[in-house]
Amino acid sequence: MLSAQKHQEWLVQIPDSSGLNEVRGVYYDRTDNRRNVYYVAQQGLQALKEKNIAFKVLQHPNQIIDKNAGLYQKNNLSFPLVTYPTYPQYDSLMAAYAQNYPSICALDTFAVLPSGKNLLMLIIDDQPDMEENEAEFFYTSTMHGDETGGYIMMLNLIDTLLKNYGKVPWINQLVDDIKICINPLANPDGLYAGNDFSVAGATRTNANGVDLNRNFPDPEDGQHPDGFNWQPETKAFMDLADSMNFTMSSNLHSGAELVNYPWDTWGHVHSNEDWWVEVSKEYADTAQTYSSTGYFSSFQFPEGYTNGYAWYSISGGRQDYMNYFHSCREMTLEIANQKVLPVSELLPLWNANKRSLLNYMARAKYGVSGTVTDSLTGDPLKAKVYVNNFDADSSHVYSRVSNGYYHRYFSAGNYELIFSSPGYETKKMPVSIAPFQNQNVDVKLAPKDISIEKQQENPFSIFPNPASDKFYINFDKNAFTGNLQIRIYNSEGELIIADKRSSKQREIQVLTKDFPPGIYLVQILDYHTSNIQKLIIE
């Protein structure tokens, strides 16, 4: 039996849109050639009536699609896909990939919606169940349920990666070097709004009639820019972003043909504008090369890419949420002018985009990356990684608490990275980044610990001798027992002196003639305690 339709959605024309700012559940369709055309869910339609805003109901575009055009699934699936899976087929297919390729694939059911439908993500990696020092990449599609092309492309991409691993060297490199995460269907209630066996009744909004791409916290317009509570899908993706460490991602849509990069919510450019133009142009150029004439070449954007605000501004979009609140480089990818694609167009769409999809993913490997650790213990640190007079609007990144790994994306050039963490000395590192290369920069940060000004609180004291190349360490004889270990580290965390003395000694002389100017850490250990002080040699 076919499942009952969960919600309805209409296209309406509103001649006078001046009062719409106060109406929730009405979403402008910027892809329609007719002016003042909006998607309206049930609560939006009711609000228009209550506010006496004149509107005309138009026929929903999905209602005029021939149901014989393959939108109902009747056959078994074969790849690349030339038909739409039913929802049960999709659910089973994602589970089967994890079962059939367990060494490189794991399934994450990161939410179960009130309808019972699942939000699914496949993790494709040489060690899918482990966190490694590597970039984490995310593709997600069809958060607008009636934008179907990306859904099929993501399933084709998964199939291509898994079936060619171990056979194609450059696919091996992608899977080995990047944690690849793919969510083909972000709004299953919208895509299968009519029933679980056809996409013919797909709706833009979710089961509650909310546009998910207006429902995220916004850098400019606050936590709930659309006036609705966070939807189950929104909360699931926010939790997913918190649990993962996505460094690059893309959110696939339909209704146009272009790459849309940040920002959407405000007019000033992203600090990584040059890098965004570079990767967007690469995607568009490649798609144009492998497609029919005119693809990714609209009259408004013939180059195939744009800053989002230059196209039209939105609030509550996922792209800006990920860039601002998670320091992830996410762009919105519009892959087809038509929203619900006839099945005859699925294979040409895949052939036009598959190289671009893989190229964009490969970009996750490049830039500058490394680990940030405590110079004394070697423990990983969470540190802010930024560039002065360059970063703005949360374009900096943080190294991970778990393993200290960080990854930054830049256009080729010379930069000075700054690493800072509370309780540690800030460090500057010059880097030179070449095109399509990754520069590895591991950094050890020295703890600030106890300053010389507070040395009376420490069981040992440091006294530089300005008249010689020596400094003296005096001990509290009651503070240490047995033999002592004296260790001196430079700011790189390298051990430059290691010595043993008896705690009966009250004073040790250390020759500093060969010490370059800088910050050093002096550590004294016995069987029970460890004490550290900072030494500055000018």
pTM over 0.75: yes
Round to whole Å and give the CA distance between 518 and 453: 17
Q: Which residues contact 497 (CB under 8 A, 6 or more apart)?
A: 486, 487, 488, 510
Residue 80: asked if its preceding bond is cis (omega within 30°), the reply is yes
Q: What is the tally of helices (H) and strands (E) in the chain?
A: 10, 27
Round to whole Å and give the CA distance between 247 and 68: 42
Please classify residue 419 by burial: count the beta carbons closer than 10 Å to its beta carbon, then call 0-12 exposed, 13-18 middle and 19+ buried.
buried
Size (the chain), residues: 538
Round to whole Å and give the CA distance between 75 and 346: 16
Three-class HEC string of 323-367: HHHHCCEEEEEEEECCCCCCHHHHHHHHHHHHHHHHHHHHHHHCE
| pLDDT per residue of the chain (538 residues) written in tens, 0 to 9 | 334 445 777 778 887 777 777 677 787 776 655 567 777 777 777 788 877 788 888 766 555 455 556 776 666 789 999 999 999 999 999 999 999 999 999 999 999 999 999 999 999 999 999 999 999 999 999 999 999 999 999 999 999 999 999 999 999 999 999 999 999 999 999 999 989 999 988 999 999 999 999 999 999 999 999 999 999 999 999 999 999 999 999 999 999 999 999 999 999 999 999 999 999 999 999 999 999 888 999 888 999 999 999 999 999 999 999 999 999 999 999 999 999 999 999 999 999 999 999 999 999 999 999 999 998 889 999 999 999 999 999 999 999 999 999 999 999 999 999 999 988 999 999 999 999 999 999 999 998 853 333 434 567 777 666 556 677 777 676 666 667 777 888 776 777 777 776 656 666 677 666 777 777 788 877 666 677 777 777 6
Q: Which residues contact 24 (CB under 8 A, 6 or more apart)?
A: 43, 44, 47, 226, 227, 228
